[in-house]
Amino acid sequence: MIQLGVNIDHVATLRQARYRAQVHSPDWGEPDPVRAAHEAELGGADGITVHLREDRRHIQDRDVELLRRLVKVKLNLEMAATDEMVGIARKLGPHTAMLVPEGREEVTTEGGLDVAGQAARMKAVVSSLKGAGLIVSAFIDASPEQVKAAATAGFDVCEIHTGPYAEVFEQCGGDLRRPELLQALALVAEAGREIQALGMRFNAGHALNYHNVGPIAGLRGIEELHIGHAIVSRSVYVGVRAAVAEMKRLMVEHAGVDHT
């Protein structure tokens, strides 16, 4: 059955907007992403995702340490392929370490990781993380070159960046008769087939919401979706538990209904 990993970064974004880490201890700032993770679990989340950024703009070290101890489902740590983050991941021991590109000026992750362009570095980082017993994932664009490079580097999982699909979906109003939307969806589907053919797990995420998640959830062989901003936004109105449950229901309803 398709699984949902809930990204709670933006719960921490809201906290940091009021309680800056360099001034206040995150132990008493609110809302607490650790409490949000518990609510997400009760709503049906199969995993919790957090991105510990180099600049600590939202998730803090304290958060990931507590989450590793308290989360009852899978913990997925998004991270840059830096020596600092590799060391933290090896010590922390999340269930999955997902390597993502990281830029200081970006609001959120923009584009997939260039595995092909830094093959030697990726292979060394993957080896180090797998040596600590971690499942290692690559967040990549729907590119055959990047999929093959990820397999060569030894990644266990490829998560396809669905941002381009989400953008076209919005432009087309979700009309699956529009060739440009079908093409955007087909690119993700084709990448997924190649990922599976090379023996890796096929996941997807980025900019997925309650309107556009269905066609992605229906792709053949997809195992897990990572969704954050849409769920956190919805939770302002209905609460984290209900927002997660609603997203999970939509995913399960569409699973296996291939629109490509």
Q: Which domain holds residue 170?
A: 3-254
pLDDT tens string 135-147: 999 999 999 999 9
Neighbouring-strand partners of residue 227: 6
Mean pLDDT value across the chain: 94
In 3D space, the residue among 177, 240, 221, 242 whose CA is nearest the CA of residue 48 turns out to be 240
Indicate the length of the chain as a whole number: 260
- Look at residue 20 in the predicted model and tell me its pLDDT: 74
Residue 249 falls inside a structural domain = yes
- Look at residue 68 in the predicted model and tell me its pLDDT: 98
Tell me: pLDDT of 249 over 80.
yes
Residue 184 falls inside a structural domain = yes
Residue 10 falls inside a structural domain = yes
Cβ neighbors of 213 (< 8 A, separation 6 or more) are: 225, 227, 247, 250, 251, 254
Residue 221 falls inside a structural domain = yes
Residue 260 falls inside a structural domain = no
Domains in the chain, number: 1
Residue 259 falls inside a structural domain = no
Tell me: pLDDT of 91 over 70.
yes
Contact 208, 165 (CB under 8 A): no
pLDDT (mean) for 117-131:
98
Residue type, 183: Q
pLDDT tens string 155-203: 999 999 999 999 999 999 999 999 999 999 999 999 999 999 999 999 9
CATH number at residue 197: 3.20.20.70
Residue type, 228: G
Query: In whole angstroms, what is the distance from residue 235 CA to residue 3 CA?
Result: 19
Catalytic residues: 51, 78, 206
pLDDT (mean) for 45-53:
97
Residue 117 falls inside a structural domain = yes
What is this structure's pTM? 0.94
In 3D space, the residue among 231, 170, 210, 164 whose CA is nearest the CA of residue 191 turns out to be 164
Residue 189 falls inside a structural domain = yes
Establish whether the linkage from the previous residue to 94 is cis, with ω within 30° of 0.
no
